[in-house]
Amino acid sequence: MKKGPALRIKGLTAGYRNRPVLGGIDLELETGDFLGIIGPNGSGKTTLLRALTGLVPHGGEIDWWEHPFHPSDSDWLARRVAVVSAGEDMPVAGRVEEYLWLGRLPHRQFFQFWLDPGDRQLVDRISRQLGVESLRDRLLSELSSGERQRVAIARALVQQPRVLLLDEPTSHLDPGAQIEIMDLLAALNRNGLGIVAVLHDLNLAGAYCNRLLLMDGGTARASGSPESVLTYRNLEAVYHTVVVTLANPVTGSPWVVPVPESYRRSSGPDSNVCKEGE
């Protein structure tokens, strides 16, 4: 896939009614990037994600593939960008099969209420690719948290996006399921899909993303490579706790270790626990 900017935002502001949340964000996403948005609760991560697709009122500039975006362009954007919300709001009733078909809605013509053979082949292929083929006859209410997340991503891929936006894709999952989902996203990214994911786990963000955006109070505290963003100075300033940052002994990616208060007290004023590991 051709390299180039998929997304460029400048001076982005957004909020709800009279409550501003974002205070001017500048960001550029290259085609094929895996961008992790990190930061404490209330820092504006989800609002930023929602603003990118026009779900909240915004100011500033949002350009998708050098196309100035306006909320009235939602149909145009839905054929290029898919969203997996936090705790994907699946219907209470219905089967996985029917839920997957929803991904074709942006591509249907007006009053087209059926799937054509190409749509069915696409759903079949993505079901196999994501390992949800055996779930297609299951009720949505019967799925585990990990299965729900995988099915939600499959529905998004049926949309045939060029960029996938995910809000906390690993929340409420056990460590094994978290790695499974992140491995899946990494494989999709290697095949050319741009990914923007809000993540709470800093170590997952450092291991899987090639770029990070650290938010604090609705602004960008730092952005760049995981090594440049996940420093103890940045993290202590944003999370207000002492951390040690090391290199993961297996992957070499940044590894963030919070330091318990009891250890900080026993270490004394000359402790070097808040410095980067050597």
- The tens digit of pLDDT for each residue in 130-179 reads 999 999 999 999 999 899 999 999 999 999 999 999 999 998 899 999 99
pLDDT of amino acid 116:
78
Residue 276 predicted with pLDDT over 80: no
Helical segments of the chain, H only: 45-51, 74-78, 96-101, 117-129, 145-158, 175-190, 202-208, 226-229, 232-239, 261-267
151 domain residue, yes or no: yes
126 domain residue, yes or no: yes
Q: What token pair was written down for 197?
A: 């994911």
pLDDT of amino acid 278:
43
Residue 5 predicted with pLDDT over 50: yes
pLDDT of amino acid 87:
67
Residue among 149, 241, 184, 222 at smallest CA distance from 195: 184
pLDDT of amino acid 73:
86
Residue 270 predicted with pLDDT over 50: no
133 domain residue, yes or no: yes
Residue with tokens 């963000």, as numbered in its chain: 205
113 domain residue, yes or no: yes
39 domain residue, yes or no: no
Range of the domain at 131: 93-160
Residue among 7, 9, 28, 35 at smallest CA distance from 212: 35
22 domain residue, yes or no: no
Number of domains observed in the structure of the chain: 1
Residue 233 predicted with pLDDT over 70: yes
Tell me whether strands 219-224 and 211-216 are parallel, antiparallel or unpaired: antiparallel
Collapsing DSSP to helix, strand or coil, 166 comes out as strand
pLDDT of amino acid 267:
57
| Residues of the chain above pLDDT 70, percent | 89
Residue 277 predicted with pLDDT over 90: no
147 domain residue, yes or no: yes
Mean per-residue pLDDT, 86-104? 84
Q: What pLDDT digit, counting tens, does each position of 8-45 carry?
A: 999 999 998 888 899 999 999 998 999 999 999 999 99
Residue 274 predicted with pLDDT over 50: no
pLDDT of amino acid 165:
98
Q: Distance of CA 247 to CAs 53, 138, 227, Å? A: 35, 42, 9
Alpha carbon of residue 156 to chain centroid: 13
Q: Output the pTM of the full model.
A: 0.90
pLDDT of amino acid 98:
92
109 domain residue, yes or no: yes
Is the Cα torsion angle 190, 62, 221, 263 positive or negative in sign? negative
